[in-house]
Structure 1
Amino acid sequence: MPAYLDVAANAHGWEKALFTHRALERVSPERPHLVEIGPGGGSAVSALAKALHGGNRRVDLTLVEVPGVTSRALTAAIKEFARVGHCTLLRGHAQEIDRLLERPADVVAASALMHEVYSYGGGYAGIHNLMRALPGVLAPGGFFAYRDVYAVGAPSLHERTTHTYNAPSWLRFLRMFTPRYLSEGVHPYHHAQDEVVARQDSRIVAVADLAPARCAVVSAPIGLFREIQRHYLTFRDHAWRSGALGFVPVLDGHLAADWLDTRTGHKRVHYTLTGADWLPRSQRAMLLAVSEPYADHYAVDGDIFDECTDIALAAFLDATGRGDTACAEVWESWAAREGRETYAYLTLDELITAFAVHSTEADNGRSTVLLPARVDDIALPHRNYYNRYLSKRLANPLVDAKQLVLFSHIDVADSEMLGQAMAAIGGVCGKHSLARIYAALNPRG
């Protein structure tokens, strides 16, 4: 069976590489040093290789990956990058990056790094240590390009709310994932007010005992609902890519962007069939009947594909719960890599503020700060396709999007650049956050 990263985490390469490419265009060295933390399946490496191909500059790329994590896809991406520069793969942890690199980096890039560090590297203390370490490895005028999941727009992740679930695939996932995540994962939901209370037919039931054929009303912290929603999507995508449901959709490249209406997230899905048969025969026949055949695959309306996916996924999860070996192997490969992770959600305001404040605490012999220097160094691309799907399955879905920030390594003595950066974040950060940043930049008043 392919390694997890070869199946699950090799999409959206150009989005991951977008701000990295912009940063490389803004640094001055003839042969810049780029560092990517946590390259995963190498999709950003591959996208960057394509973007740089044909240019005049060569790039020295250093990849930092945790020990034991490998993928054939990353090996292929490294070979592809050889056309535009030199690539070195180092083993180590993000918080130790200042001890891993032999020379300063002009650009450091990372995608979805915070939840990895939170889950496996010391919680918020690990995240803050990473923020303090980055200025020590960045050259003056360097950049840190970061991309992560959009956070919950709530005063606190512990704020209680109520969600309802009636789709069988979601109910099966809820009862399989939630108890395991709460017992094995690194998460902040330990207080009495964080208790998950589920009701079916007006009676309180344990989440692990939810009946998949009846609507469930669940009260819990909003952050936990975000974890459930985000993990459901990652598992669904993993099951898709694995071929375990009976079909494999194209999730990257030009066929993945066959939009009928970009604004509403409505698109055609291109897919191939596999030998698995978790979709009932009648549903499989219906899917093929409404699909357009191509030379080596099919294309179908995304709403129809989602409907079929939920039917197949419900049957697949039911079989996993009954102990089917093949289904359990797919579930466990995902659960071992993703199921215990907590997305350390920081809103754009919190993310920018945290990086600014903790980067000023770096022990690098200089007084510097990490801040986006321009308004267009901050982006929030919505996942319209996911949001369309979620709005059809959940009564009150949480918005799915990505947040991208390109941080500049600014000398605090550079008042012009600093003023430009503070103006750039004025539309994103609240007054309290701006005051915290100002206090960090002026510790002596």
Structure 2
Amino acid sequence: MIGAPNRFAHVHKSAATYLDVAANDHGDEKGLLVYRALQRVESPEPHLVEIGPGGGAAVEYIATRAAEEPRPVRLTLVEAPGVSSTSLTDAIGRFNAVGSCVLVHGWAQDIGRLLREPVDVISASALVHEVYSYGGAYSGLHTLMRTLPTVLHPYGYFVYRDVYAVTAPSLHERVVQSYSSQSWLQFWRMFVPHYLREGTHPYHHHDDEVVARQNSRIVPVTELDTRVCAVIEAPVGLFREVQRHYITCRDHVWRSGILGFRPVLDGPLSGDWIDFRTGHKRVHYALMESDRIPTMQRANLLAVSEPFDDHQVIDGDIFDAVSDVALMAFMSEAEQGADDCVRTWDSWLTREGREAYAYLTLDELLSAFAVHSINAHPGRDLVLMPVSADDVFTRDRRYYNRFLTHRLSNPLVDAKQMVLFQNIPLSDTETLQRALGTLQTICSKPTLARPGSRCGPGIPVPRRRAGTPGHRCGRGGRPR
């Protein structure tokens, strides 16, 4: 799936509780743009490729859609060596009932050698941040961007879905946030020094220094007092990383059952909404046989819950508050060396503790794809850009955003970024003008000038209409 076998956590990424369950949801979202691309492809036998199929959620969605297609559909799946999934095997079987599907193992940056011929659509969900994290940082990312046009047919599509970064000109823009929650301060103390030391991240410049203050005095992050409000100044991208890692850590600890309860995070019961618009939902959970949850806390939890079949159901806001207290105790014990807590913490840290979820803003991402895809292959002048405005959008994580709003003073939006890139020949000035017009509504002027200047003198950069924002657009600075 990615490009650095020496750092990729094969065992942890293949664990059934992760690949078959935790990372195997949102199949309709993962397959949405794939199906949109399939509808636009004119090939009599479309060939689709998915890099990093995980547990096969998108494969199942595409199989459902392929059953409605009058044309035969071919699907090739590219997964990292050593990574396997029972649910993916089942999904492949279901796809083969309506089309043809094969699985090959290899790294994303070797996609040019793995595919014997150009294909119509390539899809990657949550792949690009892993290429950045394990495959050479920006160099690996740019290599992938240069490779994609060479393995796509002209007018083929690349479907991108990954974690939304931030609404800012740069991930390095310095901002100030305050933290009063004990569990978040504990997480900063344990995770951030490890991430800055061990992870693949871009925060190496002197202006990227993390400055934490408590009681108006600068303190090292490793010495943050969880009982005292902290005011922290750092790059906005780093705050984004802390948010996303806190959520993945919390969900990992929840699934382990080590807190004394295990919430239902997958399947129909995970979407028991009180108000979907505001992200307010009920949480279904089972109490575990554990001495970690005190008798009084267990009684209090049951007092605000209701029985539901063989488990309990509780208001999500109440559950989040209870969970944060338990998570704080868990992290404190892990820091002090409690064996079971250390094992659970280390298993999450090994799987995701080095990953960079925010590596480029949307503005930078669209520009980088355009610039690095141009002239990627001698004699084939192609550029990857979204053509239509509705091919660039975000999907908010409403529940997570509600949780973050209740815990943080300046929460950053948690969402998935979706882009459908088309492999456009530079000779097609009409399509290029449409694509540059789409970038005009999203990107800043300097960013817009980069692909425009590379596309050749015959392709003028569209002038920004009066009143059109620069890198920001739509609600909260995100493309609609």
- What TM-score do the two structures reach when normalised by structure 1? 0.92
1:32 aligns with 2:60: no
Aligned equivalent of 1:383, options 394, 397, 411: 397
1:403 aligns with 2:417: yes
1:291 aligns with 2:305: yes
| Structure 2 Cα separation of the partners of residues 176 and 275 of structure 1 | 28
3-state SS of 1:87 partner? strand
| Structure 1 Cα separation of the partners of residues 128 and 254 of structure 2 | 25
Aligned residue in 2 for 1:10? 24
Aligned equivalent of 2:191, options 155, 177, 181: 177
The answer to whether the Cα contact below 8 Å between 2:22 and 2:266 also exists between their aligned partners in 1 is no
List per-residue Cα deviations over 1:125-180 (Å, max 9, x = no partner): 11111111001111222111101111122233222222222212112211111111
1:148 aligns with 2:181: no
| Structure 2 Cα separation of the partners of residues 302 and 121 of structure 1 | 38
Cα displacement (A) at 1:253: 4.0
Cα displacement (A) at 1:112: 2.0
Against the structure 1 CA distance between its residues 11 and 379, is the aligned structure 2 distance closer, same or farther, given a 3 Å change threshold?
same
Aligned equivalent of 1:429, options 443, 446, 451: 443
List per-residue Cα deviations over 1:30-80 (Å, max 9, x = no partner): 432111112233332233334444654443222222223333333333333
Aligned residue in 2 for 1:349? 363
* Between 211-220 and 101-110, the greater mean CA deviation after superposition: 211-220
Structure 2: state its 5+ residue gaps: 1-11, 460-480
1:272 aligns with 2:286: yes
1:190 aligns with 2:213: no
Aligned residue in 2 for 1:393? 407
The answer to whether the Cα contact below 8 Å between 1:163 and 1:218 also exists between their aligned partners in 2 is yes
Against the structure 1 CA distance between its residues 170 and 143, is the aligned structure 2 distance closer, same or farther, given a 3 Å change threshold?
same
The answer to whether the Cα contact below 8 Å between 1:166 and 1:214 also exists between their aligned partners in 2 is yes
1:130 aligns with 2:120: no
The answer to whether the Cα contact below 8 Å between 1:141 and 1:408 also exists between their aligned partners in 2 is yes
3-state SS of 2:76 partner? strand
List per-residue Cα deviations over 1:360-407 (Å, max 9, x = no partner): 131163222111121211111222211111111111111111110011
Identity of aligned residues (%): 59
| Structure 2 Cα separation of the partners of residues 91 and 316 of structure 1 | 37
CA RMSD in angstroms comes to 2.3
| Structure 2 Cα separation of the partners of residues 417 and 444 of structure 1 | 13
Aligned residue in 2 for 1:102? 116
1:121 aligns with 2:135: yes
Name the aligned partner's letter for residue 414 of structure 1. D
| Structure 2 Cα separation of the partners of residues 190 and 423 of structure 1 | 35
| Structure 2 Cα separation of the partners of residues 6 and 276 of structure 1 | 26
The answer to whether the Cα contact below 8 Å between 2:202 and 2:359 also exists between their aligned partners in 1 is no
Aligned residue in 1 for 2:469? none
| Structure 2 Cα separation of the partners of residues 361 and 244 of structure 1 | 53
Aligned residue in 2 for 1:438? 452
Aligned equivalent of 1:228, options 242, 247, 268: 242
Name the aligned partner's letter for residue 216 of structure 2. S
| Structure 2 Cα separation of the partners of residues 281 and 215 of structure 1 | 30
| Structure 1 Cα separation of the partners of residues 308 and 213 of structure 2 | 46
3-state SS of 1:40 partner? coil
* Between 176-185 and 71-80, the greater mean CA deviation after superposition: 71-80
| Structure 1 Cα separation of the partners of residues 241 and 59 of structure 2 | 28
1:48 aligns with 2:62: yes
Give the length in aligned residue pairs.
445
| Structure 1 Cα separation of the partners of residues 299 and 62 of structure 2 | 41
The answer to whether the Cα contact below 8 Å between 1:136 and 1:364 also exists between their aligned partners in 2 is no
| Structure 2 Cα separation of the partners of residues 81 and 248 of structure 1 | 33
Aligned residue in 2 for 1:412? 426
The answer to whether the Cα contact below 8 Å between 1:105 and 1:139 also exists between their aligned partners in 2 is yes
Structure 1: state its 5+ residue gaps: none
List per-residue Cα deviations over 1:274-322 (Å, max 9, x = no partner): 3345443333333333333222443322111211221221122122112
Name the aligned partner's letter for residue 209 of structure 2. E
3-state SS of 1:163 partner? strand
List per-residue Cα deviations over 1:85-131 (Å, max 9, x = no partner): 33222222212211111122211001122221111111111111111
Name the aligned partner's letter for residue 416 of structure 1. E
1:19 aligns with 2:23: no
Aligned residue in 1 for 2:153? 139
3-state SS of 1:399 partner? coil
Cα displacement (A) at 1:25: 2.1
Against the structure 1 CA distance between its residues 340 and 96, is the aligned structure 2 distance closer, same or farther, given a 3 Å change threshold?
same
| Structure 2 Cα separation of the partners of residues 247 and 30 of structure 1 | 52
The answer to whether the Cα contact below 8 Å between 1:279 and 1:315 also exists between their aligned partners in 2 is no
3-state SS of 1:213 partner? coil
1:325 aligns with 2:342: no
| Structure 1 Cα separation of the partners of residues 437 and 57 of structure 2 | 33
The answer to whether the Cα contact below 8 Å between 2:269 and 2:284 also exists between their aligned partners in 1 is yes
The answer to whether the Cα contact below 8 Å between 2:157 and 2:421 also exists between their aligned partners in 1 is yes
| Structure 2 Cα separation of the partners of residues 257 and 126 of structure 1 | 37
| Structure 1 Cα separation of the partners of residues 63 and 262 of structure 2 | 26
The answer to whether the Cα contact below 8 Å between 1:7 and 1:242 also exists between their aligned partners in 2 is no
1:71 aligns with 2:85: yes
| Structure 2 Cα separation of the partners of residues 128 and 373 of structure 1 | 21
| Structure 1 Cα separation of the partners of residues 246 and 112 of structure 2 | 35
- What TM-score do the two structures reach when normalised by structure 2? 0.86
3-state SS of 2:274 partner? strand
Aligned residue in 1 for 2:256? 242
| Structure 2 Cα separation of the partners of residues 167 and 6 of structure 1 | 33
| Structure 2 Cα separation of the partners of residues 137 and 365 of structure 1 | 14
Against the structure 1 CA distance between its residues 237 and 57, is the aligned structure 2 distance closer, same or farther, given a 3 Å change threshold?
farther
The answer to whether the Cα contact below 8 Å between 1:152 and 1:345 also exists between their aligned partners in 2 is no
Cα displacement (A) at 1:203: 3.2
